[in-house]
Amino acid sequence: MTAVLGGRTAGQTSLALDGDDTRARLVVVGNGMAGARFVEEVLERDGGEHLRITVFGDEPHGNYNRIMLSPVLAGEADEADIVLNSHDWYADRDVDLRAGVRVERVDTVAKVVHAADGSATPYDHLVLATGSHSFIPPMTGVRTADGSLLPGVVGFRTIDETRQMLAAARTHRRAVVLGGGLLGLEAARALQAQGMVVELVHAAEWLMNAQLDAEAGAVVRRSVEELGIAVHLGALATEVVGTDRVAGIVLKDGRRLDCDLLVVAAGVRPHTDVAVRSGIEVERAVLVDDRMATDVPDVYAIGECAQHRGTVYGLVAPAWEHATVLADLLTGADPEAAYTGSRTATKLKVAGVDVAVMGVSTPERDSDEFLVISEPRRGVHLSVVVRDDRLIGATLVGDTRKVAFLTQAFDRGTPLPAERIKLLVDLSDGDAEVGVAELPGDSQVCNCNGVSKDRICGAVADGCTSLPSVMDATRAGKGCGSCKGLVRQIVEWAADGELTVEESASWYVPGIPMPKPELVTAIREHDLRSVSSVFATLARGGVEDAKSKMGLASLLKTIWGSDYVPEPDATFVNDRVHANIQRDGTFSVVPQMKGGVTTPAQLRRIADVAEKYEVPMVKVTGGQRIDLLGIRKEDLPKVWADLGMPSGYAYGKSMRTVKTCVGSDFCRFGLDDSTQLGIDIETRFQGVESPAKIKMAVVGCPRNCAEAYVKDVGVVATGKGRWEVYVGGAAGASVRKGDLLATVSTTEEVLTLIGRFIQLYRENGNWLERTYDFVPRWGLDRIKAVLLEDSEGICDALDEGIQRSIDAYTDPWARDLAEPASPGQFRTSLPLTVLPQVPVR
């Protein structure tokens, strides 16, 4: 059974309506982002007091944010995250939702809606919000004998189509996307993120040709190809190959592209079938006037199915403007309300590239001013079109820092600088706060929901001083989300910098309403040793949360050591099979090489394994180990057995590796034996669970050849047996030199101090918080006082805690070779289970 998004256990929601209800009957056909938003607007105007509302939806789901389907497909968002209005939302507001019921036709004379389930629903006011559907170009073989699409061919408009693509990505490798517009590019990037090899076919000569000029389209193409997505332009697909399932497509020039999945994102067409069958006037879409009325009395149309003054809008912002105007009219809130068209400005991220588009992309008159800044190598193309000192168009690709000012100039006609280059390049050093302060109050910040700066500031004045509370109160940032950064700046400015943090921000994991110290206390008090028992005892309503499972599993291992009770669905696949999953579904295997030291015998075994299992890549890692990439899941136990080496823990939230330099044994600059100390540290702390990964290094002199200054823990020999211990370093996206914790005189003191620091971090660090964030948050002075002076009297407890974890260590490869954790641990496919999300930090 297909899961109902935003639904009740029983699926649909239907109300038993009172036959004596004297309210006017309002029927909405379409439960998408236009139809549901219209219902919201009606209810906000107290329309429920005199309107009895019925909503029909083709899909069985509640209303969800279609803009966010791409992040769902890419694995960056959960389905639950995109629900806007659940079935319960309608029931709680006395709205009769007929989810999964298709409307066939409307008897506009008798004013009755006829649905596919045989029902006949009378109306006083009817609103068509039927949206649009994917356009499937005519291609030989694209449909089966019964008219349905060939298996493996799918559009990209609904959550069910997204689910089909995700299912295909789990079992197939090659995808072709037809269409190089916004949807096609998003689909291509998302499928690539799921591990598929993707090719993109576009009929026009440049990508996003409906929004961008040729030069900007070329910049987008270069950026897309740099991601590894092959692009075919000026290419027309004429045939779909395959019998039981798609196997490829044939282009007009005779080329064949093989694929297991064909995503058709070649544009959309308004859903006008109901209007046509009902005798309502239709051209490209349903014709409406400034009151959103059709040519039939009491019948209206909004959203993508409506054509107003010759224009059909495919964006959510105009659809929501339609909903607002019509709600004003039908509730009487504003009898003079009228829709006169939309000036569309769009900011989005396409296949990883920031893009903002508004108005025209090229000059239309000889007198138009056209300014272009193009840096193809940097992936940047900026242009503006000015007419009569007004901005009539702008295109920003790869750099959207000026989008807020340009949007206001485009929407409001604000004066433009005489030096036109200032439209695209900030020639001053003014900070962001000044820009926010100078932004006019009526400036539209959220284009999707039409939210101005004044409205955001008003919410702050009413007591909303956190970003989530302002977003809930105003809807700013709740459409595509691209304005969220500007919304945050305005909230901070309006609150005089005193931005409050939501209570949930202090929770260790989102599914348990407790900060870490309280959570640890509760776990100990209730003797909770499994993730499921924590949810059952401490979660609200006992509801399990997939996003919280990995954090809880890590915490329980830290608290209970070998007495922790593991559960298969509480850990990510990496931890279940003790290897790091790759984009193509294979795994990488990194055996332990303590301190970066190996032997000829180990190297021979690694070479033999690489040849025996046809390993695609053998790579020396930055942590001084050797990585075997491309191992199939079912081969993992055999690879471990043939290697005969312990796990290097290159996959989990734990102590990973200790990098070393040659040290005093061989290096003429070496002041002490860094190699042996590194081996001792790795031996002692191998596999110790932590809130995030821990990387260490030991160097034999301050020349820092093993980069100890930028590790979570770094140890530096300074001569005469003395060692400096550094903590909180980073060498990733941002570089941070570690803080000097102490200088000690023996290697035993080094091991003790490192153990205490790791245990302090384990007990007090937030889930996924690296030490380079933990150390500044706790404060170096406090950490020194706790670890060196025992200011809080916990050093003995820290020593005992880390020792328990050390004593509980077993090599996971050897353990699961001797006795697999579950019968299907290394099967290529398993029954679908709700698993925790992959955390990224």
Q: Other CB atoms closer than 10 Å to residue 103's CB: what's the count? A: 26
Helix, strand, coil percent content, the chain, rounded in steps of 5? 35, 25, 40
Q: Other CB atoms closer than 10 Å to residue 377's CB: what's the count? A: 8
The alpha carbon of residue 478 and the mean position of all alpha carbons in its chain are separated, in whole angstroms, by: 14
* Residues of each annotated binding site: 661, 667, 701, 705
Alpha helices by DSSP H, 690-810: 747-764, 771-778, 780-788, 795-807
* Four-CA torsion 281, 284, 288, 292, nearest 10 degrees: 130
Cα atoms in the Cβ-side hemisphere of radius 13 Å centred on 439: 30
Alpha helices by DSSP H, 45-158: 69-74, 87-92
Sign of CA dihedral 274, 280, 284, 285: negative
For tokens 């055996």, the residue is 591
Backbone angles phi and psi of 113, in degrees to 5: -100, 125
Helix or strand holding residue 486 (H, E): helix 484-494
Alpha helices by DSSP H, 542-655: 549-560, 573-577, 600-612, 636-643
Backbone angles phi and psi of 154, in degrees to 5: -145, 145
CA separation, residue 38 to residues 41, 66, 234, 303, 326 (Å): 5, 16, 40, 10, 8
* 753 touches 741 (CB < 8 A): yes
Q: List CB contacts of 479: < 8 A, sequence separation 6 or more.
A: 65, 67, 316, 317, 446, 447, 448, 449
* 38 touches 316 (CB < 8 A): no
Q: What is the SS3 string spanning 345-407?
A: EEEEEECCEEEEEEECCCCCCCCCEEEEEEEHHHCEEEEEEEECCEEEEEEEECCCCCHHHHH
Per-residue DSSP letter, 621: -
- Which tokens in the block code for residue 585? 């579904």
Q: What is the largest CA-CA distance in the chain?
A: 99
Sign of CA dihedral 647, 651, 653, 655: positive
What is the C-alpha R_g of the chain? 30
* Residues of each annotated binding site for siroheme: 705
Per-residue DSSP letter, 388: T
Alpha helices by DSSP H, 55-158: 69-74, 87-92
92 vs 98: CA distance, rounded Å: 15
* Residues of each annotated binding site for [4Fe-4S] cluster: 661, 667, 701, 705
